[in-house]
A and B are shown apart, each in its own frame.
Chain A
Amino acid sequence: MTKKIVINPVTRISGFMEIQVDIENNQVVDAKTEGLMFRGFEKMLNGRSPFDAVYFTQRICGICSTAHSIASTLALEDAFGVIPSEQGRYLRDIIHGCEFLQNHIRHFYQYTIPDFVKLPEDYPLFKAEHNDFRLPREKNERLVKDYFDSLYLSRSAHEMLAVLGGKAPHNHGVFIGGITTQATTDKIIQIKSILHSIYKFINDRMLPDVYTIAEYYSDYFSIGRGYGNLLSFGCFNGYKDLGTLYVNPLVYTGGITSVFNPDNITEEIDYAWYKDTQKAGKPFEAEPEADMSKPLAYSWVKAPRYNNLPFESGPLARQWLSGEYRNGISTMDRTIARVLEARKIASIMNILVENLIPGASVQKEYIIPETGVGKGLIDTARGALGHWLKINNQVISFYQIITPSAWNLSTRSNSYVKGTAEQALIGTPIKDINNPIEIGRTIRSFDPCISCATHVYSGGKHINTIQTVP
């Protein structure tokens, strides 16, 4: 007998999401992930000044705003024909690294930990209904302490970002050519000092914390695999003097790693709330209209595909593709990879900081071309992010954004192939159907950002369900 479970809201993610799963014999047999907010950023960007995209697109997401400033800047540089200096790239990538650290620390402690650690119940915010908390009291208390102590470190990561970026969230520093200001010696040592504390916290506290969770929840190494298709647009890579410090643009499928080719990306919309005017669209073509009345559609998230296949992107994909971590692909591996990546990013940032020339200025006056086309593809905290834009009469005439969460939390493709996270839920054993904690644990391992993934969706909303149907 099939039982249906609906979880909405999926808390401790950015944005609004519903999950519907079908359960047979205490196992998940079908799953749908649904993004439930639409804003329409691509439409808003039409007619605006190309420069403004850098600040405007950051407002897609409050926890990973820097990611959008980086991708839009890369797209503008492509369209303008500007090649940033190496110093410009170092400075910009240091800002980007700060956002990785902020995101990963907050995602691990504030979003993930409450699934596994019993937080003090005298805080109404921490009231939890399930009782699958397995850590012995002493270890549980250590992780509770680190939940609170981590708040200082994630905040410091944003402080470090603001030293070069002006403020966070929604920085002013990332711009064409690199960043706006100069890294003078006082700023360099300020960053080094904060970075030192963050590295120490990740190494001494966060890593032991994630391994403690892995020890007591080892069943999650065999839950949440998905397709095992991994993709990265690359980041902290291809420096003239420093080479690749992290990961190049690569894809992994069927046991084979190959070089990523941006021409192989398409977006499908059969099961998303958009007018069905095209089949699989290329990023520079597709700009569908919202349509909530479409019968089979169930989400604002479209279905990006690479060579027509769904892919996972994010920390585990990068750790795997760069050869840093190849233990496995699962809910727990994803969580561990994120923490390992935080340490990796901190050490990369240290290299970049040591290669700065104090006081170097990387700005000049830029002229908007009459017409232009540009794309900015970069791996960010949550995974592969792409911005594609066109300029006509010196204003934006087309803008397309495909976010990491659109890859990970996508709807079905036109041929009904499930999205990555939907597939990852299949086969998950559910112990207590009234408290299906297993589902949220796997979904959160992808660090969904539905604010990002549903940036362009519109429409109304199907109703017709359902709590637990016995």
Chain B
Amino acid sequence: MSNGGITCPEYKERLNTAARLVDTAKTQIRQGVLRKKNLVWLELTGCSGNIISLLDGSNPDFKYLISQMTHFIFNNSLSASEGQNAMEQLFSVIGSDYILAVEGAVATKNNGLYNIIGRLNGKPVTALEAVKTLGEKAAFVIAIGACATHGGVSAARPNPAECVSVQRVLDRKVIKLPGCPCHPDWFMGTLAHILLYGEPQLDSMDRPLLFYSTLIHDRCPRRSYFDKGIFAEKLGDKTCMFKLGCRGPVTRIDCPIRQWNEYVNWPIKDDTPCIGCAQFGFPDAMEPFISYNTTREVER
């Protein structure tokens, strides 16, 4: 696919970074330089869309992740075992060197009873208990997607289940990969960095700079329309989406140069505004998502 005529010199570099990290990790693992780490992927209060997004990843894909990069111990959507056996499998990682990946927010209402993730020895285990128990002992904790990083849609007003971020219930470093969902490369690249070099360089809000350094607006292929003041009036137009409510100017992520789903498209190329799903504050701080000409006087 065409890249919309982007000529930025770092374009290719950035596109390839995650893939190269993963390749290096793979080579080193094979040479015995690195040991595969245990990985647990916990789903909490959310839509389980981040594990689906992970399955949408290519190079590395899911098979490569579970065969070459990690011992993938447990995930609710994919584990063959069920019931007590599944819960034993999940908690078996405690005491080993493991990475905890979490998608979904932590429901705190009724002491966490708004989200039960299973039963261990007959006793219901709340998402709150699970993330605390597993989170305290993990070598690394990665919060994946908007719900895990800051509450996201699960914590949208009036937040009926009293959802909070993973960080709010853990007194430790949590690497944050906001996005709704998280792009598979953002996770795979972060994981590869951990396996290879340890914790990646993070910004002040614990997001890997590798992916979250630059505003969408700064690398938007439609930036020249913005500079010239040529604005889209409806969805489907090919010019700047700013007046339709685009959140590209406040959203730090690499969508414009990475793109989604085998890198074929992304929201602005689909002739819609960015809704800021990869920025803290999504969704409430990013609404309304669509408005026709935000510079008009608001009629109330």
Contacts and interface: CB of A to CB of B under 8 A. Distances in A.
A49 to B, nearest CB: 4
Nearest to A181: B271
B79 to A, nearest CB: 5
Contacts of A364: 234
Interface in B248-300: 260-262, 264-267, 269-272, 275, 277, 283, 287-292
Contacts of B213: none
Interface string B67-86: 10001111111111111111
Interface stretch (A34-42, A214-222, A320-328, A332-340): A34-42
B109 interface: yes
Contacts of A48: 287-288
A60 B124 CA distance: 24
A168 B56 contact: yes
B236 interface: yes
Interface in A114-129: 114, 119, 123-129
A357 interface: no
Interface in A132-162: 148, 151-152, 154-156, 158-159, 161-162
A51 B290 contact: yes
Given A43-B160, A463-B124, A125 B116 contact: no
B107 to A, nearest CB: 8
Residue among B52, B118, B292 with most chain A CB within 10 A: B52
A181 B232 CA distance: 13
Residue among A55, A110, A167 with most chain B CB within 10 A: A167
A62 B181 contact: yes
Contacts of A363: 234-237, 271
B275 A55 contact: yes
B122 A155 contact: no
Residue among A9, A106, A166, A361 with most chain B CB within 10 A: A9
B161 interface: yes
Interface stretch (B18-26, B58-66, B134-142, B190-198): B58-66
Interface in A377-435: none
Interface string A1-42: 000001111111111101000000000000000001111100
A111 B77 CA distance: 7
Contacts, number: 275
A158 B80 contact: no
Given A125-B72, A129-B85, A44 B79 contact: no
A114 B86 CA distance: 14
Interface stretch (B149-157, B202-210, B223-231): B149-157
B160 A39 contact: yes
Contact of A36 (B115, B153, B180): B115
Contacts of B83: 6-10
Residue among A39, A182, A463, A465 with most chain B CB within 10 A: A39
A11 B81 contact: yes
A56 B283 contact: yes
Contact of A460 (B72, B110, B117): B110
B180 A170 contact: yes
Interface residues of A, number: 86
Contact of A43 (B123, B158, B180): B158
Interface residues of B, number: 88
Contact of B271 (A11, A49, A51, A180): A180
A280 interface: no
A321 B63 CA distance: 38
Contacts of B124: 8, 461, 463
Given A49-B288, A166-B265, A168-B56, A127 B158 contact: no
Contacts of B161: 38-40, 458
A9 B76 contact: yes
Contacts of A56: 153, 156, 283, 289
B113 A119 contact: no
Nearest to B75: A125
Contacts of A104: none
B3 interface: no
A460 B128 CA distance: 13
Which 5 residue pairs spanning A and B have beta carbons closest together?
Answer: A62-B49, A40-B160, A166-B270, A363-B236, A162-B261
Given A18-B119, A169-B56, 16 more contacts: A8-B83, A8-B124, A39-B154, A51-B290, A106-B55, A123-B66, A125-B73, A128-B80, A155-B56, A159-B264, A166-B266, A166-B270, A169-B49, A180-B270, A365-B234, A463-B124
24 contacts: A12-B82, A16-B116, A16-B118, A18-B116, A37-B107, A44-B159, A48-B287, A52-B290, A56-B156, A59-B153, A59-B180, A110-B55, A124-B73, A125-B66, A127-B80, A127-B89, A155-B262, A164-B270, A172-B267, A182-B236, A190-B264, A361-B236, A451-B46, A465-B122
